């Protein structure tokens, strides 16, 4: 495993629609492991392959679903070719930051819950139902695969006085 450089705006790869993953080979497994290590070291709660300059439809997310329980262990999700197939009608505003846009945060409206379908790291189908902050993370990361940044969706953007703990 190795840390990869997280690219920042205005890197072109962040604005490109990523290609579907078609080969579940050793190279993909290395990329996944490197992305997990890079996300944890950043530290962040999500990372999309374009953020490490790889234009492929791959995301990693690590977050403790029980936001109330500080002792809750974070769960790691690796999703290849993710697609949001369902979402709630309800939305909510929330503050987001991004490892590829250091120094800025923004207020973004996102669906309260989503269903994400894709494949695991070995190509088997998977389906994840997410609510709250976890749903927000998945929406943020899938946006990266479509060349969309949180600043494109933000109602307002600003420089925070305090560092943001959960960068996606």
Q: Is 70 considered catalytic here?
A: no
Tell me which DSSP letter residue 14 carries: G
Q: Which of 70, 107, 141, 162 is catalytic?
A: 141
Q: Token digits for 106?
A: 């923004």
Integer angstrom CA distances of residue 118 from 26, 50, 57, 66, 78: 19, 17, 10, 23, 9
Alpha-carbon distance of 35 to 4, in angstroms, equals: 7
Which stretches within 57-122 are classed as H helix? Answer: none
Catalytically annotated residues: 141
């Amino acid at each position: 495993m190795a840390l990869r450089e997280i690219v920042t705006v205005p890197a072109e790869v962040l604005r490109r629609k990523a290609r579907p993953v078609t080969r579940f080979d050793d190279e993909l497994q290395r990329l996944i492991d490197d992305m997990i290590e890079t996300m944890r070291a950043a530290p962040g709660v999500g990372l999309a392959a374009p953020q490490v300059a790889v234009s492929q439809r791959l995301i990693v997310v690590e977050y403790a679903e029980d936001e109330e329980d500080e002792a809750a262990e974070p769960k790691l999700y690796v999703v290849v070719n993710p697609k949001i197939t369902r979402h709630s009608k309800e939305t909510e505003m929330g503050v987001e930051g991004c490892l590829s846009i250091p120094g800025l945060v923004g207020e973004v409206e996102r669906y309260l819950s989503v269903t994400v379908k894709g494949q695991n790291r070995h190509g088997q189908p998977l389906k994840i139902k997410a609510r709250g902050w976890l749903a927000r993370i998945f929406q943020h990361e899938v946006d990266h695969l479509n060349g969309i940044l949180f600043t494109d969706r933000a109602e307002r953007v600003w420089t925070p006085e305090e560092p943001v703990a959960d960068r996606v």
